[in-house]
Amino acid sequence: MHKELFKLFQGDNTCYLKSLLTGTDDERGKKEAQYQTVHEQLTPLHWKHHLAGKTRIGIRPEIGDECLWGCIDVDPNNYKDYSEKKYVDIITKYRLPLVPVMSKSGGLHIFVFFKELAEISKVKQKLNEINEQYFLSNEVFPMNKAVNMPYFNSDRTMEYAFDENNTPLMVGGFLDAAKKRMISPSDFFKLKVQDYEAESEWSHYAPCVQKLIQEGWSGNNRNNYLFNVLVLEMKKNSTLAVKNLEEIGFARNSEIFSNPLPRNEVSSLCKSVHKQGYEFQCPPKHAEFGPICNKELCKTRRLGIGEAVPEIIDAFENITYIQDTKNVWYEFDFKGQHVMVTPEDMKDEKSFRVKLLRHRLYWMTLPKPPKGPSPFELLMKGIVEKAVENKEHTYEDPLEEERYKVLKDFFESHVEQDKFTKLKDGYVVLDSKTNICYFKKITLDQFLKKKAAKVFNTTADAIRLLGCKRKDYHEGEKNVWHVEMPDFVNHQAIKFKTNNTDLTEMDDKYHDKFRHSETKSDLPQDT
């Protein structure tokens, strides 16, 4: 067996890690140990001593830039109440080519084995993808550290593998499982990681909250842990009523903690979070979150802490923008110089550096982290968000102004008050009680074609600008558009005209048509 294990766990055989359990546990129930790196060639004999319980060994998987195996080290928040079954079930359900093994500390080592040497960078990329979806571990190997090997003191070991039914396996069963699930590097890199949604928006949760929900907690710091759970709920729905937040808080309190908080404490905590809108509590200030915190992953989560804008943004002062219909310019004071940049100058760090050099300002490249958006992208985002409009150079769109003039003319030349029978005759009818205008689309169509063919591309553009809504029927007319009388229309000055066809002999204006000078000139004159 020892020779087969030596072959299976081929790695950096120039040294090995020697560990010894101290017999004590930390607050979480994790078994503590002392470690020593031994710089001598690892041989099958070391494995023989390991299986016999003489010397516990750990091995680094690196063979140069390649490896034959990798590992996800699941470090539970609560070792006392921890159960590996949920993770074994995940491996089985999603048919992952992984072998779960109980670690010496009481957690879980999840191994992948390759048929031939695999490129380390690609192995880590895929393992990180798997880990972030299912396991939320802080340690993914290879990472230039040794992994403690399973089956120490194999006859009486607790460091055994599990099959798909969560049944412990002896050494022979583990070797069979490892060979069965062994995968070629190319197939592993092509492996599709399926979505794991324990709850709605699960993949967007802060990792610390995910860990608490997944594994529960029986120790101290319940108030602080529930605090982060409640902050997440407010991030999910900022309009959540305090009553609804309390309902969620009571449920989470019972679900997560083996010894739940009193209801009045939960209620008080809910009201505080709801009122203040706090952010997550994080290490190092809140050290209790250290074991379940994955800061880099949390930065990439929509409901996590998010990426912080680099502190250098404080050096950019008086940030403003100027915008017209086609372009936008950003202005700021930086190191005593007034600078104006375009979007093209901000598209990447090289372009930005060149722009600053033209102002005799040297720009040092911001270091990029292994995951998440680059600091430069966050800086540009911060500049855009902080920019306020330069009021001295506010752009006035002449086309927009012309459009409003056209629509003003439309209403003032077509409006009739309360005469809905005139809708079909091409009028805009104003309801004097509601101040709502009604018109047929063809009325606006004809006006724009005659007066403003080049101002609006379509009648729909004018309708959208006005914010009109359509009625299927109104006052006996089909497909009528309506909108409140626009503010830019001086409708109070409109003199609502009366059509001559509506006049009778009782109206003085009826006789005016016979009193024009033109008419009088044609009449015979007395001499």
* The pLDDT of residue 63: 96
% of the chain surpassing 90 pLDDT? 55
* The pLDDT of residue 26: 73
Over 80: is that where the pLDDT of 277 sits? no
Which carries the bigger pLDDT value, residue 399 or residue 256? 256
Please provide the size of the chain in residues: 527
Over 60: is that where the pLDDT of 497 sits? no
- Spatial CA neighbour of 159 closest among 15, 58, 62, 70: 58
Over 60: is that where the pLDDT of 507 sits? no
Over 50: is that where the pLDDT of 504 sits? no
Average pLDDT estimate for 424-443: 92
* The pLDDT of residue 32: 82
Q: In what order do the strands lie in the sheet with 316-323?
A: 337-341, 328-334, 316-323, 388-389
Which carries the bigger pLDDT value, residue 490 or residue 493? 490
- Spatial CA neighbour of 8 closest among 157, 165, 147: 147
* The pLDDT of residue 148: 94
Beta bridge partners of 147: 59
In CATH terms, 2-189 corresponds, of 2.60.40, 3.90.920, 3.30.70, 1.20.81, to 3.90.920
Average pLDDT estimate for 129-156: 93
Average pLDDT estimate for 108-114: 97
Over 90: is that where the pLDDT of 508 sits? no
pLDDT digits (tens, 9 = 90+) for 82-107: 778 889 999 999 999 999 999 988 88
* The pLDDT of residue 520: 41
* The pLDDT of residue 299: 83
Residue 178's CB is within 10 A of a number of other CB atoms, namely 21
CA dist 78 and 233 (Å) reads 23
User: Residue with structure tokens 């006996």?
Assistant: 476
Pick from 351-355, 367-371, 417-421 the range whose average pLDDT is largest.
351-355
Over 70: is that where the pLDDT of 250 sits? yes
Weakest-pLDDT range from 298-312, 438-452, 482-496: 482-496
Which of the four pLDDT bands, split at 50, 70 and 90, describes residue 502?
very low
> How wide is the angle at C-alpha 314 spanned by C-alphas 368 and 317, nearest 5°?
125
* The pLDDT of residue 492: 63
Amino acid in the structure at residue 424:
K
Over 50: is that where the pLDDT of 501 sits? no
CA dist 485 and 497 (Å) reads 18
Which of the four pLDDT bands, split at 50, 70 and 90, describes residue 522?
very low
Does residue 244 contact residue 204 with C-beta atoms inside 8 Å? no
* The pLDDT of residue 349: 94
pLDDT digits (tens, 9 = 90+) for 181-228: 999 999 999 999 988 888 888 988 999 999 999 888 888 889 999 999
Over 70: is that where the pLDDT of 394 sits? no
* The pLDDT of residue 397: 60
* The pLDDT of residue 513: 46
Residue 11, Cα to own-chain centre: how many angstroms? Answer: 38
Please give the biggest Cα pair distance in the chain. 148
Average of per-residue pLDDT values in the chain: 87
pLDDT digits (tens, 9 = 90+) for 38-73: 999 999 999 999 999 999 999 999 999 999 999 999
**Domain ranges, ordered by start, for the chain:** 2-189, 202-300, 313-393, 398-512
Over 80: is that where the pLDDT of 369 sits? no
